[in-house]
Chain A
């Protein structure tokens, strides 16, 4: 009994040590979202000024041609926050393109604090996988989404609720292991 008592500090130290060691594995940049399972914020963003959709100026189209929260309900969708000045966004771009063109997930874009001409050049150079894009020039709508570093991606269920968030570039691994199973699950639910 007494020997056990002497061991106690050591055991405590061991426990704390293990807890801290496991802490090394965690990414301090990965902040849990406060919005998981909550409805996506209400917003109405205009199209990128000068953007053309199917040969027509996007801004002249019904609804402004941008992106609003009304469009998010209905199907499971991915909302991707990107910018032309963001290097990891370019890295994840092929992954987003495949997700939208081959893997059948509707992807919407929020263009975060970007110059319109830069965003348009970026899209014409790399291709536009987005079903619609909203231009968030002052970043206010993105704050409502809890964005703290682009790129960020959000999975929205059919009722328009945020169900999953990924911070940083999407990789094929994240898509295969997390996004696609989640999309499948949400489409059934």
Chain B
């Protein structure tokens, strides 16, 4: 019974699909081409709702760009060519994954630089503390100091 219920549930879940922004009339008949279009659209930022890809967004401009991507693919453009077509018009800003170049160096290298700096700081700090623990840089007590310390300790009894 349990197994039957599970099977039924699975069958039902197969029927549902995530809500898509892509409208049925946009989908290309060629599944391979449509797949490429979907992959490209997921990489492109919707300029209206800026944290969504055009694949996710319901904005009219996102739809226009999805259609444009599909038109370029139908015209025989490679994936890179399509990306280039869009960035030529909207700049690197449309790429959800920023490219690695001089102006984005801080973005890509920054976190690693901070991590390295932290590691170096921790290393220096720990090395310094180990020195203190081992008594490496503490001079032995002089006879005068020893006498005062003994006096203080005796006072406590």
A interface residues, Cβ below 8 angstroms from B: 5, 8-9, 12, 28-29, 31-35, 113, 138-140, 143-146, 148-149
Q: Is the CB of B90 within 8 A of A34?
A: yes
B interface, over-half SS: helix
Give the interface size bracket for B toward A.
10 to 19
Complex interface bits, B124-153 against A, C-beta within 8 A gives 1, otherwise 0: 100000000000000000000000000000
Q: Is the CB of B91 within 8 A of A31?
A: yes
Q: Is the CB of A143 within 8 A of B64?
A: yes
Q: Determine the residue in chain A with the shortest Cβ distance to B106.
A: A19
B residues near A148, Cβ cutoff 8 Å? 47-48, 61, 90
A residues near B124, Cβ cutoff 8 Å? 5
Complex interface bits, B95-128 against A, C-beta within 8 A gives 1, otherwise 0: 0000000000000000000100100010010000
B3-52 interface (Cβ within 8 A of A): 47-48, 50
Query: Once bound together, how far apart are the Cα atoms of A70 and B117, in whole Å?
Result: 57
Q: Determine the residue in chain B with the shortest Cβ distance to A147.
A: B61
Can you report 13 residue pairs joining A to B where beta carbons are below 8 Å apart?
A5-B124, A12-B117, A31-B93, A34-B87, A34-B89, A113-B60, A143-B68, A143-B89, A144-B89, A145-B89, A146-B89, A146-B90, A148-B90
A interface, over-half SS: loop
B interface residues, Cβ below 8 angstroms from A: 47-48, 50, 60-61, 64-65, 68, 87-93, 114, 117, 121, 124
B residues near A140, Cβ cutoff 8 Å? 64, 68
Q: Is the CB of A139 within 8 A of B64?
A: yes
Q: Is the CB of B88 within 8 A of A34?
A: yes
A residues near B90, Cβ cutoff 8 Å? 31, 34, 146, 148
- Given A139-B61, A148-B47, A148-B48: A32 and B68 interface contact (C-beta under 8 Å): no
How close is B84's CB to chain A, nearest CB, in angstroms? 11
Q: Determine the residue in chain A with the shortest Cβ distance to B46.
A: A148
